[in-house]
Chain A
Amino acid sequence: MYLTKEQEKMLEGEYGEVVSKMMRLLVRLGEVYNAEKMIPVASVQVAGVSYKSIGDAGLEFLQDIAKEAKVKVLTFLNPAGMDLENWKEMGISEEFAKKQLAIIEAFKKMGIVISATCTPYLAGNLPRYKQHIAWSESSAVSFANSVIGARTNREGGPSALAAAITGYTPYYGLHLDEKRQPNYIINVNVDLKSSTDFAAMGYYIGKEIKNKIPYFVGIKDADVDDLKALGAAMAASGAVALYHIENITPEANEVSIDGLEKIEFGKEELKETYEKLNSGEEEDIIIFGCPHASLNEIIKIARLVEGKKARKPFWICTSRAVKEIAERMGLDEIIRKAGGKIIADTCMVVSPIENLFSTTAVNSAKAAHYLPGFCKQKVIFKRMEDLLR
């Protein structure tokens, strides 16, 4: 692989051992995937933030990096394992909080924005069409590639960090035009009525096509929340990093769909997926915001519960940035009176909720996928309106 003089200096240790180690990782990846060169990245999203996810091994790894290296480009951070300000209110232990704050401190020392969200594109890190970025967080990767048309591979937590510290990523995979061509046509024969329906479809398709690229036809309309849910689900049940939707996503008109194998998605498949994702009887709590809720989703929930008491306690997980505005709009108050809570910086999957609840209701297929294994939860998966009714 071709390296510039500066990249070679990085590799050879002129900028310190950490930069060299990060560059070695990128060069190895580049060689494996036949990258001809490195390219500069405009921004990075770093995943692997919750102490529950990365443990002591991850904490030590990050502290070692923070000792000598700083990031070179705009770098945002995935959710942590707790609300970084109101963690006591969440029932988080002192011990967990101490470790979590040490992880945050290491990231801060590196110069990373402590955004603590899986939806950076809703909180201040928005790439442009065809811009090269290096993002981890599977749902954000999918959104950036598909909805915005920016270009990133599915970076692992450490490879994204390496891109942040060096400013480069190897030029391969989804950075190239030819690797963004779809592999399957998905014929959608059912009217998708909510973002939860989109999520269910995503779950089904991700399982079917694994790490390939789908091209959806038959979707009449989809808002940003629908697309966020669809991409997150396909990246959880499979490894889908890019999807196209006819007349909706920006690259759909630039790719070829001639001769592709077709997969049907209709009423039966939708029903089957809802059944599959439901394993619980009665929930202890309802949790929204996987991926992190947009302001519009919080407004919708506030309208549904205004002046009423919800049938169960509920949480809405979102970024600190969105929560601040929700508070300013008085939505926080409406939600609190209805028995809910807006929680920032974290979510139901990366926080240790297994210590608090045993059955969780969600409207997210991604959450429904991770909660049984990682959080030992039984799951109820329904539309937002049905959960609050």
Chain B
Amino acid sequence: MKGRTIYPGKAEGEALVSKEPIGFYGGIDMKTGIVIEKGHELEGKCIKDKILVFPCGKGSTVGSYVIYGLKKNGVAPKAIINKETETIVATGAILAGIVCVDGIDIDKIKTGNYVVIEAKEKEAEVIVK
């Protein structure tokens, strides 16, 4: 699948897919990378080293700092794939240096799929193995 690069780079790994938007602030613990939002479909799951796939961000604008903090604490996802990346997630990914792409039909990716991402300066390619 072809998409748009938010932050360039190469990444590959196991997909963790959420059909619901993710709010990083108050949604994910910055120290452990575990999803803490009550009732969220990923509640209790750890995003560390995953290819984190979700439609878009939601909630607090402090989310960017949480993404940056996840990276500093060594519990960030390897990459982020969105349907549509909004500014909060984009800022966090750029600042933290996490590969991030959007414009992807995320319904075609399932949790556990092995995903390879090559994000060039502008265009990105996502391969689901």
Contact = CB atoms under 8 A, between A and B. Distances in A.
Contact of B87 (A47, A48, A156, A210): A156
B10 to A, nearest CB: 18
B58 A158 contact: no
B94 A28 contact: yes
A166 to B, nearest CB: 14
Interface residues of B, number: 41
Contacts of B60: 47, 138, 236, 370
Interface in A149-167: 153-160
A39 interface: no
A158 B65 contact: yes
B112 interface: no
Contact of A156 (B4, B37, B84, B88): B88
A47 B61 contact: yes
Contacts of A25: 91, 94-95
Contact of A238 (B38, B58, B64, B90): B58
A136 interface: yes
A239 B90 CA distance: 14
Interface string B24-47: 011100110000111000000000
Interface string A1-45: 000000000000000000000000100110111000000000000
Interface string B71-84: 01100000000001
B116 to A, nearest CB: 22
A386 to B, nearest CB: 23
Nearest to B28: A373
A279 B39 CA distance: 12
Contacts of B105: none
A372 to B, nearest CB: 4
Contacts of A349: 26
Given A153-B87, A211-B86, A373-B36, A54 B69 contact: yes
A54 B59 CA distance: 15
A159 B91 contact: yes
Contacts of B128: none
Given A29-B94, A58-B65, A239 B25 contact: no
Contacts of A54: 62, 65, 69
Given A32-B85, A47-B60, A211-B84, 8 more contacts: A54-B62, A57-B69, A57-B73, A138-B61, A156-B87, A211-B58, A236-B58, A239-B21
